[in-house]
Amino acid sequence: MLQYDNSAFYFFALSTISFYILPSWYSIFKRIISAIRVDDEAVGAVSRTSAEKEKAEQLKKESRAANTLKSQGFLVNLGITSVLTLIFIWLLISVSQDGQVNSFDPFSILQIDAGADNKTIKKAYRSLSLKYHPDKNPGDRAAEAMFMMVSKAYEALTDETARENWEKYGNPDGKQSLEVSIGLPSFLLDSKNRNLVLVAYLLFMVVLIPYFVWRYYSDSSKYGEKNVMYDTYSWFHHALNENSIVKALPEVLAGSAEFRKRNIPKTAEQKQAIATLMNAVRGSMQKPKFNHPVCVKGNVLMHAHLLRQTEVLAKMEQEKDDLKYMLRMAPSLIDAMISVCKHQDALQTAINCIELGQYVTQAMWVKDSPLLQIPHFTAEEVAQCEKGATKVSTIKEYCAIPENERKGLSKFSDQQKKDVRDFLKIFPDITVECKVFVDDDEDDQVYENDLVTVQVKITRNNLADGEKAGLTHAPKFPFPKREAFWIILGQLKEGKIISIEKVLNPNKNVVHQIKFMAPPKGTYHFDLVVKSDGYVGIDETQRVEMVTLDASSLPEYKVHPDDAVLDDEPTLFEEMLNAHIEKDSDDEDEDSDDEDDNHPKSAAAKKKEQLRKARQNADDDDDSDSDAEEVYADK
């Protein structure tokens, strides 16, 4: 008889729980250790200049246990793992006390000592049989099962045959092929727990499982590529067009769905704080196109960052946190804006979005000089560099000046001067080369419908051989950002995009290939634009010319005779199909022969039959052709 086995349930539960708690505790301890032993490079806390020191210290602080271990996901997992661990310990204790998987033990069932005499056995049997008798426990399946076990145990101890079977095979019924028990706790059979078990089952099956499925589906259905919400993509499609200028893009970014719950002002103090910020940045803002509070707040916060006026936020903790959240999401959202521009074939707007990403990274705006990227430089140092006979306006020009002739350093300390030198060493100095060709082509010409490859090679001249580019130097941007380039091929005047891709390769030499089908015969001019993802002022633009020739001028392709023969041969599928058709044809011929035996043939039918036979024997009989001619002659 099958019975509910507590010990088997303990082992099953221990095995099941261990599948979760063992990897979970490993992950928890690994995260705790990584939070205590912070790897500076792994979290981007690298300070190559003193200007980056504050940013590096803040990244370290956020990566320590006090912050890393406060995340909601970590705390929920820790709570679940702790509860399951307590259950696991309780099950271990239960197994240690009753660790043997249920086997038939009549002495244990009758609750008497092993080797008890017959009098004790009978007394225990009477007591337990009265206690668990079905008439005294109507509807109690546990009592009914126990009554049967008591009767079986009594039989095993009093009947000689049953006792011999039990001692020899472990079962009073003799040798059993398989012993099976149900690995569930016995309290499930208790009628007192029936309602509780039913409620727990309904709660699990009807409430918890549908809720988690709904939660997973609702969350996953909100997000598209780059983990950006679908509502954000819809907003970008609505707000962006081929005429969008750079100064209007912060407002578009501020309207992203990711900011709508966070950036809604909830109190009068928050509204007043936004109004104060608006007064500080209004002069550099494009006239707002959208008056929704979310767009207004996000636009003002983003301009405070771009204009380096975040000191106004010193006493506005909520606004400061909101701006930091916006900057955290900005890189992926700007990438999404570029992908929307690519879909709309708005080339200039895509370039403007890339420039927005540069400005956000360096905390600069459209009228600012690229020299502001140099550590400790302000408008005063920039003004000194932009006047005089040796005036410069870009960092590349500033690098070319001998160190002792560089302007803007007169008030700098030795450490600040060292920061400038270190920055100029890591600032990208690139050379762009372009080549147009067709793979596996016998000449260097391009013909219409060829698969054309435009190969772009970017060389970082500031790196040594084997050296890799590190993080973008961006002290004002609170998160680490890898150095990358956008490579764009298109036609600026026509606004047509052929390819626009982000290249993250950190090597000294970066090779990127763009493939597309050659257009019809003619001369075409394309614009190749290489733009940095995080630095301002190192962009390169080249004009690419491509002459497409008429495909009819190509020499005629002659098929080799052997290849022509192979083309005429049937494929394996065709051979199998023909064999099947011939077999069916033979079967029909046999059927027709049988019919001919039973029915007289007309003269026309006889001539037709003679012609068919002549054709069948054409390959075997050299005289078959003359037979066929005689048949035709009879006509």
* Domain membership flag for residue 232: yes
Q: How far apart are CA 541 and CA 477, in angstroms?
A: 27
**Looking at the structure, do residues 228 and 363 belong to the same domain, yes or no?**
yes
> Are 122 and 207 part of one and the same domain?
no
- Rg for the chain, CA atoms, rounded: 42
**Chosen domain end from 537, 553, 569:** 553
* Same-domain check for residues 346 and 464: no
Q: Helix or strand or coil: residue 368?
A: coil
* 58 in a structural domain: yes
Q: Using CA atoms in the order 392, 397, 399, 402, what is the torsion angle rounded to 10 degrees?
A: -70
The pLDDT assigned to 193 comes to 76
Q: Residue 184 above 80 pLDDT?
A: no
Q: Which two tokens stand for residue 583?
A: 């077999």
Contact 341, 349 (CB under 8 A): yes
Q: Tell me how far apart the alpha carbons of residues 340 and 253 are, in angstroms, rounded to a whole number.
A: 13
Report CA 505 to chain centroid distance, whole Å.
20
Q: Specify the pLDDT at position 257.
A: 94
Per the structure block, which two tokens stand in for 575? 């051979």
CA distance 582 to 580: 5
pLDDT at 164: 79
285 and 262 in a common domain: yes
Q: Are residues 507 and 438 in the same domain?
A: yes
Query: Contact at 8 Å (CB) between 531 and 485?
Result: yes
Quickly tell me which residue has 């049967």 as its tokens.
148
**Which residues have C-beta within 8 Å of that of residue 535, sequence separation ≥ 6?**
358, 361, 362, 373, 427, 428, 472
Q: How confident is the model at residue 628 (pLDDT cuts 50, 70, 90)?
A: very low
User: Domain for residue 321, yes or no?
Assistant: yes
Better pLDDT: 75 or 164: 75
- For residues 254 and 292, membership in a common domain is answered with yes
- In the predicted model, what is the mean pLDDT of residues 519-532? 94
Count the Cβ atoms, other than its own, within 10 Å of residue 384. 18
Res. 627 pLDDT band, cuts 50 70 90: very low
Classify the C-alpha dihedral 276-277-278-283 as positive or negative: positive
Lowest mean per-residue pLDDT among 409-423, 435-449, 555-569 = 555-569
Taking the C-alpha atoms of residue 247 and residue 360, their distance in angstroms, rounded to an integer, is 12
Is 599 domain-assigned?
no
- Whether 345 and 358 map to the same domain: the answer is yes
**Which element (helix H / strand E) includes 470?**
none
Task: Give the 3-state DSSP-derived string for 477-492, with helices as H, strands as E and coil as C.
Answer: CCCCCECCEEEEEEEC
Tell me whether residue 84 is in a domain.
yes
Coil/strand/helix, residue 581:
helix
Q: What is the pLDDT of residues 113-130, one digit of tens each?
A: 887 888 888 888 888 888
SS3 percent helix, strand, coil of the chain, rounded to 5, is 55, 10, 30
pLDDT given at position 63: 73
Q: What is the mean pLDDT of residues 216-231?
A: 84
pLDDT tens-digit profile of 441-459?
A: 667 788 888 899 999 999 9
CA nearest 512: which of 468, 459, 440? Answer: 459
Q: Looking at the structure, do residues 462 and 358 belong to the same domain, yes or no?
A: no
Residues 232 and 194 in one domain: no
Q: Is residue 633 part of a domain?
A: no
Q: Which residue has the higher pLDDT, 225 or 484?
A: 484
Q: Residue 602 contacts by C-beta under 8 Å, 6 or more apart in sequence?
A: none
Residue 447, domain extent: 425-553
Q: For the segment 3-19, what is each residue's pLDDT rounded down to a tens digit? A: 556 677 778 888 889 99
In this predicted structure, what is the pLDDT of residue 615? 56
Output the domain CATH number for residue 464.
2.60.40.150
Q: How far apart are CA 30 and CA 33, in angstroms?
A: 5
Per-residue model confidence (pLDDT) at position 121: 86
**67 has pLDDT over 70:** no
Of the pLDDT bands very low, low, confident and very high (cuts 50, 70, 90), residue 631 is: very low
Q: How many residues does the chain have?
A: 635
Residue 413 near residue 50 (C-beta atoms within 8 A): no
Residues 353 and 442 in one domain: no
Buried/exposed 420-429: b ≥16 CB within 10 Å, e otherwise: bebbbebbbb
Within 159-229, residue ranges assigned H as helices are 160-169, 194-202, 209-220
- Counts for the chain of helices (H) and strands (E), in that order: 23, 8
Residue 364, both tokens: 């600069």
pLDDT at 65 over 60: no
Crossing angle for the helix pair 293-306 and 317-344, to the nearest 10 degrees: 100
Position 135 scores a pLDDT of 85
Taking the C-alpha atoms of residue 512 and residue 530, their distance in angstroms, rounded to an integer, is: 11
Burial class of residue 520, CB neighbours in 10 A (0-12, 13-18, 19+): exposed
pLDDT per residue over 286-334, tens digit each? Answer: 888 999 999 999 999 999 999 999 888 878 888 999 999 999 999 999 9
**Number of structural domains found in the chain:** 5
The answer on 24 and 158 residing in a single domain is: no
Averaged pLDDT, 170-194 = 67
Distance CA 48, CA 267 (A): 41
Among the ranges 45-49, 440-444, 553-557, 590-594, which has the highest mean pLDDT value? 45-49
Confirm if 303 and 250 have CB atoms less than 8 A apart.
Answer: yes
Cα separation, 106 vs 162, whole angstroms: 11
What's the pLDDT tens digit per position in 253-269? Answer: 999 999 999 999 888 88
- Name the pLDDT band for 588 (thresholds 50, 70, 90): low
- Report the alpha-carbon distance of residue 577 to residue 573 in Å, rounded: 6
**To the nearest whole number, what is the mean pLDDT of the chain?**
84
CATH of the domain at 269: 1.10.3380.10
pLDDT digits (tens, 9 = 90+) for 542-553: 999 999 998 887
Q: Among residues 98, 126, 154, which one ends one of the domains?
A: 98
Residue 362 lies in a domain: yes
Rounded mean pLDDT, 32-56 = 81
What's this model's pTM, rounded to 2 decimal places?
Answer: 0.71
- Which of 353, 368, 383 represents a domain boundary (last residue)? 368
Domain for residue 452, yes or no? yes
Give the CA-trace dihedral at 190, 191, 195, 196, to 10 degrees: -20
Closest by Cα among 27, 37, 18, 19 to 71: 27
User: Does the pLDDT at position 192 exceed 50?
Assistant: yes
In the structure encoding, which two tokens stand for residue 271, read together?
């509204």
Tens-place pLDDT, residues 593-602: 555 555 555 5
CA gap 142, 187 in Å, rounded = 8
Q: What CATH number does residue 118 fall under?
A: 1.10.287.110
pLDDT in tens, 207-219: 989 998 888 888 7
Q: Are residues 195 and 132 part of one domain?
A: no
Q: DSSP 3-state assignment of 261?
A: coil
Q: Where are the alpha helices (DSSP H) in 37-71?
A: 53-63, 65-68
Q: What is the mean pLDDT of residues 512-528?
A: 94
